[in-house]
Amino acid sequence: MAYPQSQAEQPLEDFDTRPQAIERWLEELPRGSVGKTSELIFKALQNIDRQELKANDRFRVLEAMRDSVHYVTTNMNKHITGVAYPLPDKVMRIASACQTIYDTMTQGYMKVFHDMQKQNSLFVDKKNLATAVHRSIVFIEHSLLITYEVYSAFYHDYWEQLHELYQYAELHKLTDSMVHDPLVHAKFKSNIKDEYLRTLLLYLAEPYHLRPGEINEVHHHLKEWSSLCDLEMIKSESELVDRHLPVVELDSDHPPKLAINGKHTSSIENCRLLNTDKLIKTLKKQHKQLSKHRPSLAKQIGNEKISISLIRRLIESWEHTRKRRFPRQQLNYKVNVTVGLHQTHMQLMYEQHVKSTEHDKNAYSGFTQIKSGFEQIEIKSVEDEHSDVWSTVYAWANTICPKTEQQAKATSSAQNNQAKSIVDYRVKQDNWTLSNESAEGFGLIATENLTNKVQVGEIISVQRKNSNERSVGLVRWMKAKGSTGVEMGVMLLAPSAKPVGLISDDPAGGDYVIDRGLILPLMQLLNRPESLLSFSRQYKPGDVLRLNRPGEENVRIKLIKLIADNGAVCQYLFTRIENSLFESKDSVSPTSNDVDRLNDIWQNI
């Protein structure tokens, strides 16, 4: 049975902007269907944008539409937040549609702003003008937020519009005008300057180095933090170098940046220094207080929670302390890449298993020789007891194993009596291009669709052709490249790694759980001692573990310090109660100096 269309769903010839008509149209929106409502809102905004309206009339219409725009964009954002890269086509289309709605609202408020500028100042409603400027900045801010969430590059003149709005507000003393926004919070008010600073700080937080969830987290906290910063006039050229603060060029289309050696394209009159000293001091004080507790836990700041790790990274971004210590060499090599600690562990286990068989130990280098050198093979179920020879020892997590020595020896004896064979335990790998490299990290580019999802903060391993080693790194930043490609920067954790099973050393007896981990060797060039990678929040400093590897005696270690926990993986310093897995003369037990060396390893993540 066909139902008659409501007024909201009927084709729009010329949207009726009369107050009662708008109210009736909004009431008839099919809010039970977010998709249909979003489509109708989008078409209505496009229609309104094409109409010739007076500034006050356009402002009234946009204000009436804001609640419905907030409703649809909030629901659309739920599909975007937290999705790993590469993003599905559906998510990219939703992100594009959501950003277009934000852009259309920005364009509408910018028209109000420009029309009011042309009017006689005696007849301009100053409150509406300040609100239009404030709303424009907020909608640009949300457009930029989506850009960061999908790791896209800039393609719009967002910064030119932002600088124009702020410069006008500063000139006409509107920067401190408070604007009420009931859609954010019933009692929330902010001014033009705070929202402008919030946008600047979000960019300087290096959002391409953050996960989508962390980007939203930072954006949320900037509601309070932006008031701790200030924009200052520049009195002389020497200030640019001496104070080492970000510079905002109000007559440009560029984001804030550090002025290197005083270089800038705008005149001094159009430049502002972004003073973050008070914000940095506050965050350092909070970080020091919270660090007395377990660093992996999220701690409360004000009325919200935020991780200590994220606070530390924000301090470094806003304090501009990151420096590249080693030059980068431009390359163009094809490499195989595994994504995640789990898959890296499995692939390393497979490669070691190949070397341990009676077959040619040099036959396998990670690259198959048929057709493409990057054949992808599905992971076999680790829950299937016949899936591979290590399935009884290395399962994904929470595998219960017998602890009695008699049972363990019986199992080992049965395995040794079986004929050795190569079991295909490879995981999905992707074909990437190694674009640059230094002693501390490297860049990777993929120009085709990827089979593995990847996020900032993920552990990856990289293997070059004809190489028997697999470098382990951590994804520091990501950015879209073209329509389907992606580019990312990786911090090198170690040029090789040993896969191990981790068993809590519980003298009480009973069953035990084996989890996956990686032992990273000593790196003298970067002053990094031997360390352990495990999944996040499984262990704590002081725990005694047994490192389990097939065919070898268990090695007991004691965790002495948690270097960092990014929510996905932890890295620990440890001391060996027995010999290290790496039989190296240079490998020594970590001292207090070694602990201090690693304080800054993950602070740049």
CB 558 within 8 A of CB 542: yes
Torsion (CA) 312, 314, 320, 325 in degrees, nearest 10? 60
Work out the number of other CB atoms within 10 angstroms of the CB of residue 265. 10
- DSSP 3-state assignment of 230? strand
246's enclosing H/E stretch is strand 246-249
CB atoms within 10 A of CB 102: 20
Give the tokens for residue 472.
């382990």
What's the maximum distance between 2 C-alpha atoms anywhere in the chain? 96
From CA 315, how far away is CA 312, in angstroms rounded?
Answer: 5
CB atoms within 10 A of CB 188: 12
- The whole-angstrom separation of Cα 524 and Cα 556 is 24
- Pairwise CA distance, residues 91 & 212, whole Å: 13
Q: Show the 3-state SS of 133-172.
A: HHHHHHHHHHHHHHHHHCCCCCCCCHHHHHHHHHHHHHHC
Predicted confidence (pLDDT) at residue 395 exceeds the cutoff of 80: no
Q: Strand runs (DSSP E) across 167-297, as ranges?
A: 178-180, 189-191, 230-233, 246-249, 257-258, 271-275
Question: Is the pLDDT assigned to residue 534 strictly greater than 70?
Answer: yes
pLDDT of residue 167: 95
Give residue 451's pLDDT band: very low, low, confident or very high (50, 70, 90). confident
Placement of tokens 């006689």 in the chain: 120
The structure tokens 């509406």 sit at 128
Q: To the nearest 10°, the Cα dihedral for 279, 282, 283, 286?
A: -170
On the question of a common fold for 329-382+420-494 and 498-604, the answer reads yes
Q: Rounded to the nearest 10 degrees, how much is the dihedral formed by the CA atoms of 492, 573, 597, 439? A: -10
pTM: 0.71
Residue for token digits 């200052």? Answer: 232
Phi-psi region of 527 (alpha: psi -120 to 50; beta: other; left: phi over 0): left
Q: What is the mean pLDDT of residues 105-127?
A: 91
Element (H, E) at 36: helix 34-50
pLDDT at 91 over 90: no
For residue 559, pLDDT over 80 is answered with yes
- Cβ(195)–Cβ(137) under 8 Å? yes
Rounded to 5 degrees, what are φ and ψ at 207? -60, -25
When the candidates are 2.40.10, 3.40.50, 3.40.30, 2.40.300, the CATH number that belongs to 498-604 is 2.40.10
Cα separation, 532 vs 570, in Å, equals: 8
Residue 335 and residue 443: Cα distance in Å, rounded? 11
How many Å separate Cα 72 from the centre of its chain? 24
pLDDT at residue 301 greater than cutoff 50: no
Q: Compute, in degrees rounded to 10, the torsion defined by CA atoms 502, 505, 508, 513.
A: 0
pLDDT for res 90: 85
pLDDT of amino acid 302: 44
In the predicted model, is pLDDT for residue 286 greater than 80?
Answer: yes
Q: How far is CA 77 from the centre of its chain?
A: 16
- In DSSP terms, 504 is beta-bridged to 545
Least confident of 50-64, 269-283, 386-400: 386-400
Position 366 scores a pLDDT of 40
Q: How far is CA 404 from CA 161, 508, 510, 511, 512, in A?
A: 70, 12, 8, 9, 10
The closest alpha carbon to 476, from 462, 490, 486, belongs to 490
Whether pLDDT at 86 is above 70: yes
Domain spans of the chain, in order of start: 12-224, 233-319, 329-382+420-494, 498-604
Left, alpha or beta for 304 (phi > 0: left; psi -120 to 50: alpha)? beta
The predicted-structure confidence for 224-241, as pLDDT tens digits, reads as follows: 999 999 999 888 777 666
Q: Degrees (nearest 5) of the Cα angle 226, 230, 234?
A: 150
Cα(110)–Cα(127) distance, rounded to whole angstroms?
Answer: 15
Which tokens go with 198?
Answer: 């919030």
User: Residues near 529 by Cβ (< 8 Å), separated by ≥ 6?
Assistant: 522, 573, 588, 590, 594, 597, 598
52-61, 145-154, 353-362, 509-518: range with highest mean pLDDT:
52-61
Which pLDDT tens digit goes with each residue over 316-364?
889 875 555 556 778 888 898 999 998 898 888 888 777 766 454 444 4
- Residue 151 backbone zone (phi > 0: left; psi -120 to 50: alpha; other: beta): left
> Span 391-413, mean pLDDT?
41
- The three-state DSSP-derived secondary structure of 280-294 is HHHHHHHHHHHCCCC
Residue of 261 and 165 predicted with greater confidence: 165
Per-residue tokens: 193: 């300057």
Total residues found in the chain within this entry: 605
* pLDDT value at residue 333: 84
Rounded distance, CA 144 to CA 202, Å?
9
The alpha carbon of 123 is separated from its chain's Cα centroid by a whole number of angstroms, namely: 47
Q: Which position has the higher pLDDT, 173 or 384?
A: 173
Residue found under tokens 């490249």:
481
Looking at the domain 329-382+420-494, which fold is it?
Thrombin, subunit H (2.40.10)
Residue pLDDT, tens place only, 39-84: 999 999 999 999 999 999 999 999 999 999 999 999 998 888 777 7
Q: 101 with 69: CB under 8 angstroms?
A: yes
Q: What is the pLDDT of residue 410?
A: 47
The more confident residue out of 205 and 321 is 205
Q: What is the pLDDT of residue 511?
A: 64
Residue 173 in tokens: 């003393």
Return the pLDDT at 187: 56
**Cα end-to-end span (Å), the chain:** 58
Between the CA of residue 604 and those of 215, 257, 527, what are the distances in Å?
Answer: 16, 19, 16
**How high is the pLDDT of residue 264?**
65
What is the three-class DSSP state of 224? helix
Model pLDDT, residue 484:
74
Q: Would you state the structure tokens that stand for residue 434, as one six-digit string? A: 């190694």
In whole numbers, what is the pLDDT of the chain averaged over residues? 77
Bridge partners, residue 559, by sequence = 574
Confidence of residue 392 (pLDDT cuts 50, 70, 90): very low
